[in-house]
Structure 1
C-alpha cells in the first residue's frame, strides 16, 4: 500500500467517527443531539460524494452531451438535495 493509499484509507475510516459517536450518544440518552449530529453529518457526506462526481467528470474528457456524464451530475445533485431534505 502506497503512502497516498494509507492516507486515503485513514481519512476514510476517520470519517466514520461522527457516525459512531452519534450512535453512542443515542444510547447514552442524548437522542436529540445524536439525531442532529447524524443527520447533519450525513448531509455533509452526501454533498462531498456528489462533489467527487463533479470533480471526476470535470477532470475527464467526458462531454456533458454524453448522457452518462449528464446523468451522473444530475444524480450527484439529487443525493445532496435528499441529504438536505
Structure 2
C-alpha cells in the first residue's frame, strides 16, 4: 500500500466502527434512533459491511489461483453473509448477529490466508484490520450478551 493511502485507510476503517459502537450504545440504553432500535441498526449496518468486505475480497481473488480450500472458504463466507441477511429478513436479530460475527471472523481469516496472493507487503493494513475486526467482534458479542 502506498504511504499516502495509509492514513486515509486507517481513518476510514476507524470511522467505520462508529456506527457499530453507536448502535451498541443505543441497544444497551434501550434507545432508538429515528424509530430504529439498536439491534436493527447494528445488524443492518453489520450485514452491509460484511457484504462489502466479502465482495471486495471476492473481487481481489476471483482472477487469482486459489486452492480448493480457498474456494470453499470464499463460498462459505458468501453463504454466511446470505444466511445473516435471511435471518435479518426473518426478524431473528440475535441469530443474524451471531452469523454476522462468524462472517467477520471468517472474512478476516480468509483475507490473512490469501495475503500472499493479494500483496504480501501490507503489514500495516493487516494490523489495522486485525484491531478493527477485533473491536467489531467484541461489539457483536456485546450485542448478543443481553440475550443470553
TM-score interval, smaller chain: 0.7 to 0.9
Of residues 47, 51, 63, the one that matches 1:47 is 51
Aligned residues: 82
Pairwise CA distance, 1:3: 1.8
Moved more, 37-46 or 71-80: 71-80
1:17-67 residue CA offsets vs partner (Å, 9 max, x unmatched): 11111122123322661010011011112211211221111243x16xx41
Distance across 2 between alignment mates of 1:43 and 1:15: 13
Alignment RMSD: 2.2
SS in 1 for 2:62: helix
* Distance in 1, Cα, partners of 2:69 & 2:84: 23
TM-score (normalised: structure 2): 0.48
- 5+ residue gaps, structure 1: none
Which structure carries more relative contact order (alpha carbon 8 Å, separation 6+)?
A: 2
Instruction: Name stretches of at least 5 consecutive residues in structure 2 with no aligned partner.
Output: 88-148
